[in-house]
Amino acid sequence: MASLALSPPPAASAVALRRNPKQRSLVGIGKRSSSDLFVKEKALGRVSMSVAVNVSRFEGVTMAPPDPILGVSEAYKADTDNLKLNLGVGAYRTEELQPYVLNVVKKAENLMLEKGENKEYLPIEGLAAFNKVTAELMFGADNPVIQQGRVTTVQGLSGTGSLRLAAAFIQRYFPESKALISSPTWGNHKNIFNDARVPWSEYRYYDPRTVGLDFEGMIADIKAAPDGSFVLLHGCAHNPTGIDPTPEQWKKIADVIQEKNHIPFFDVAYQGFASGSLDEDAYSVRLFVERGLELLVAQSYSKNLGLYAERIGAINVVCSSPDASARVKSQLKRIARPMYSNPPVHGARIVANVVGDPTLFGEWKKEMEQMAGRIKNVRQRLYDSLSQKDTSGKDWSFILKQIGMFSFTGLNKAQSDSMTDKWHVYMTKDGRISLAGLSLSKCEYLADAIIDSFHNIS
């Protein structure tokens, strides 16, 4: 503080006096912080110097807008109405709308306590036992790519951190390539590629007329992209639409990607949450691997193991040779080291204990089925309530066709605003609601809110 006060740039103090007349009036009120210093400094006859304390070197920093997804939770917290409902972030809640820690996670943590493991740094690439089981979970333990040493797996800071690491890798080694992302997609994909300076464009995905997949548009846009583009695909449970290609469509997508020499880049944040089965939800990735394609897969344990705040996930790169795989790993480590040095250990140990232990693994699958089942139940109840209450004849059956944590309601921004402002239902402005944050008992209320907003707001 002292050095700041003693070396004010003269121009800056003048600016402060002009820009902050309110702070001048704080003199003598006895408030803490800068005005305290102001009083003391005034007594010492050094008023002009102390004023510089009020001048921020960060004057030029503008206020960033709230995050379109995590900002919704912040707004929800600030609402005092009893009816409020947080359907913004994709985080699983119990029927009582409470956060849920899986029993297998508690068991794994108890085991970890019993073992009394230390807190030494992990290697840059993360916990070996975690990397092994996470690749096996994604590709299948008996997949030849694993046996041939062609998969490189680096533990990342959950799905987001893993995507970001891969984006930095793309920028460094494929500076001429661009990424293709679905329209719409999870909002953070654009931020990730922007921050990593990877140019991107969108491919058609959602057709509002059919409230389904625009398959023709998707194929045409992937075909039209420059050869060797990175095509970002949601491995399952597309966010925000909840619409996935069928197995037949996946095959055609793989054909086009192969033809065009593109590199598939899967984001798998919901393995187990789409169908309730870990293997079924890995179908798309395993299909592409079977075709002999080189590809990237970002994985997250936020949703399927409920480890949101542990920040645990991975980036896998399937290469055509073990040698390429080793070189790719060395470069991913090189990028990670100056960014965050090495990843956190707690979540990695939980995953290694659950996925690596046959008993806990079996228990996890059951718990996941239950979570996925609860979401399917509220999906059905919401549809039932909407169709019973809405007498306009509108067809709400698209809700039943969507899968995963979300429903893409088709509500526009003004209608979504009304959901929040009038009904205290917090959701993202693209019309997405997280069914994981909904209970059976709130379905009727939500249906009333949706019907009112849909029919009465243009």
> Going residue by residue from 171 to 200, which x/- string records binding to ligand KET, judged by CB under 6 A?
---------------x-x------------
User: Which of 34, 160, 407, 416 forms a contact with ligand KET (CB under 6 A)?
Assistant: 160
User: Which of 13, 86, 153, 158 forms a contact with ligand KET (CB under 6 A)?
Assistant: 158
Nearer to ligand KET by Cβ, of 124 and 433: the residue is: 433
> Going residue by residue from 290 to 309, which x/- string records binding to ligand KET, judged by CB under 6 A?
----------x-x-----x-
Q: How far apart, in whole angstroms, are the C-alpha atoms of residue 303 and residue 73?
A: 17
Token pair recorded at residue 84? 């409020």
User: Which of 13, 34, 53, 90 forms a contact with ligand KET (CB under 6 A)?
Assistant: 90
CB of 65 to ligand KET, least distance (A): 15
User: Which of 145, 168, 269, 427 forms a contact with ligand KET (CB under 6 A)?
Assistant: 269
Burial, 29: exposed, middle or buried (Cβ in 10 Å; 0-12, 13-18, 19+)?
exposed
* 206-207 and 212-213 beta bridge pairing: antiparallel
- Asked if 431 is part of the footprint of ligand KET (rule: CB under 6 A), the reply reads no
Catalytic one of 107, 186, 396, 423: 186
- Residue 303 is a catalytic residue: yes
- Residue 200 is a catalytic residue: no
DSSP structure string for 244-274: ---HHHHHHHHHHHHHTT-EEEEEES-TTTS
Token pair recorded at residue 440? 């059976």
CB of 310 to ligand KET, least distance (A): 9
Could you tell me where the DSSP H helices lie in 143-267? 144-147, 158-173, 188-195, 215-224, 247-259
Number of neighbouring beta carbons within 10 Å of residue 199: 13
Residues 6+ apart with CB under 8 A from 162: 154, 156, 298, 299, 300, 313, 314, 315
- Asked if 69 is part of the footprint of ligand KET (rule: CB under 6 A), the reply reads yes
Nearer to ligand KET by Cβ, of 38 and 301: the residue is: 301
Catalytic one of 107, 200, 244, 303: 303
Token pair recorded at residue 185? 């997609």
Token pair recorded at residue 128? 């070996």
- Residue 267 is a catalytic residue: yes
- Asked if 347 is part of the footprint of ligand KET (rule: CB under 6 A), the reply reads no
Binding site for ligand KET (CB under 6 A): 69, 89-90, 158-160, 186, 188, 234, 239, 267, 269, 300, 302, 308, 313
